[in-house]
Amino acid sequence: SKERLQQLALVPPVTPDGMMLELAANISTLKELDAVLRSGAHGIGLFRTEFLYMDRGRFPTEQEQYEVYREAAERLQGKPLIIRTLDIGGDKHLDYQEMPEEENPFLGFRAIRFSLSRKDLFKVQLRAILRASAHGNVQIMYPLIASVEEVREANGVLAEAKRELAAEGVPYREDVPTGIMIEVPAAVAIAELLAEEVSFFSIGTNDLIQFTLAVDRMNEQISHMYEPFHPAVLRMLRAVVEAASSRGVRVGVCGELAGDVRAIPIWLGLGIQELSLSSQAILPVKEAVLRTFAQESRGLMEELFSLRIASAIRERLERFHSEAV
Ligand code: PEP
Ligand code: MG
């Protein structure tokens, strides 16, 4: 029941054999913060900042953005707040910004690609985030990273924003952690190289599944082929964790799959440290974490890697889930 779930808000998300799986929330607006705080979330694992840009018919100013990020940081009282820089393009558009007509918008001019082509706008956002970093546990995340160069170029703009603020005497946190979304297969393939550049990874399963399987996440004609439990997806996830863990880089998951209770043994079995999900999914997922053994999950993963077809993997996960209930 709802009340019983609500009581779980204060219970830490730890398996019966003692493995912690931090549960953070995805948000797009400050309005969602109340529900997040009520759910007992570990923090915000993904603040999608697109809405700030879609809301007002023009680019938001540094001050406007700063006020929003600062309020979120303060209300979280030291809990992590991962702010993702603008991920416009793909399915999200700004009606005041001319964007090219594209044959393949998800493969096109979007996210970090847009930001790096408009460093003036990018720097405004980074300055706002840096200023908010003086008021809480703020972290910065770049979307759709596909190369080491992109990370370095983005960090270059960040360094410039820091220098400006320092010269102006404006406070910010010098060692604000920076991380990247892992949502392009190229990023999985070079995860060991990217791990040298950042302090955390967050796997965006929505895009990663679409690109791994070459299945447009918006195309209904092929939606039956959008298969989170495809053996290729499991291998992508494993490769990311292996590349990151040997280098001390934290790995979280923030796509929709993070909210699917059937996937919990995948995270526990691979050694994922954090999930970020919609606030409604936090308590149901926590309830499942509380009765899923990490040790059994590791055994299950070995079994799953021997299976060759998605339906077999999915059915095995469903059986495991119903047995854990
Ligand atoms: C993802 O791709 O999984 C993700 C979390 O980002 P978005 O859904 O905003 O593209
Ligand atoms: Mg994405």
317: phi > 0 → left, psi -120 to 50 → alpha, else beta; which? alpha
Residue 28 in 3-state DSSP? Answer: coil
The residue length of the chain stands at 325
Write phi, then psi, for 153 (nearest 5 degrees): -65, -45
pLDDT averaged over every residue in the chain? 96
For 2-59, write each residue's pLDDT tens digit. Answer: 787 788 999 999 999 999 999 999 999 999 999 999 999 999 999 999 999 998 899 9
Average pLDDT of span 246-260: 97
User: What is the model's pLDDT at position 2?
Assistant: 76
Dist CA 161 CA 102 (whole Å): 31
Annotate 121-152 with b (16+ C-beta within 10 A) or e (fewer).
Answer: bbbbbbbbbbbbbebbbbbbbbbbbbeeebbe
Question: Which listed residue (86, 237, 254, 317) is catalytic?
Answer: 254
pTM over 0.95: yes
Query: What is the share, in percent, of the chain residues with pLDDT greater than 90?
Result: 94
- Position 150 pLDDT exceeds 90: yes
pLDDT tier for residue 321 given thresholds of 50, 70 and 90: very high
Dist CA 171 CA 182 (whole Å): 30
Average pLDDT of span 118-147: 98
Contact 227 CB / ligand 1 (< 6 Å): no
Contact 92 CB / ligand 1 (< 6 Å): no
Dist CA 100 CA 216 (whole Å): 19
Residue 46 in 3-state DSSP? Answer: strand
User: What is the model's pLDDT at position 100?
Assistant: 84
Tokens, residue 108: 């096109």
Q: So what's the ipTM on this one?
A: 0.99
Write phi, then psi, for 142 (nearest 5 degrees): -100, 135
User: What is the model's pLDDT at position 84?
Assistant: 98
Which of 52, 106, 112, 207 is the pocket-test mutation for ligand 1 (most atoms within 8 Å of CB)? Answer: 207
Ligand 1 atom nearest the C-alpha of 183 is 2
For 96-127, write each residue's pLDDT tens digit. Answer: 998 889 999 999 999 999 999 999 999 999 99
- Position 263 pLDDT exceeds 90: yes
Write phi, then psi, for 181 (nearest 5 degrees): -80, 135
User: What is the model's pLDDT at position 274?
Assistant: 98
Which three-class secondary structure string do you get for 175-219? CCCEEEEECCHHHHHCHHHHCCCCCEEEECHHHHHHHHHCCCCCC
Is residue 166 within 8 Å of residue 200, measured between CB atoms? no
pLDDT tier for residue 325 given thresholds of 50, 70 and 90: low
For 68-82, write each residue's pLDDT tens digit. Answer: 999 999 999 999 999
Contact 204 CB / ligand 1 (< 6 Å): yes
Q: Which of 302, 300, 94, 236 is nearest to 253 (CA)?
A: 236
